[in-house]
Amino acid sequence: MKRTAAALWVGDLKTGDGSLTTHSGALEQTPYTFAQRFGDSPGTNPEELIAAAHAGCFTMATCAALTREGFKPTRLSTQAAVILEQVEGAWTLTASHLEMRAVVPQITAERFAEIAVDAKVNCPVSRALNLKITLDAQLDATR
- The values of phi and psi at residue 141, to 5°, are -60, -35
pLDDT score of 130: 86
Nearest CA among 136, 53, 52 for reference residue 101: 136
pLDDT(142) > 70 = no
CATH of domain 46-139: 3.30.300.20
pLDDT in tens, 113-129: 999 999 999 999 999 99
d(CA 67, CA 73): 8
HEC string of the chain equals CCCCEEEEEECCCCCCEEEEEECCCCCCCEEEEHHHHHCCCCCCCHHHHHHHHHHHHHHHHHHHHHHHCCCCCCEEEEEEEEEEEEECCEEEEEEEEEEEEEECCCCCHHHHHHHHHHHHHHCHHHHHCCCEEEEEEEECCCC
pLDDT at 41 > cutoff 90 = no
Q: Is the pLDDT of residue 5 over 60?
A: yes
The domain ranges of the chain are 5-38, 46-139
Q: Which residues 6+ apart lie within 8 Å of 88 measured at CB?
A: none
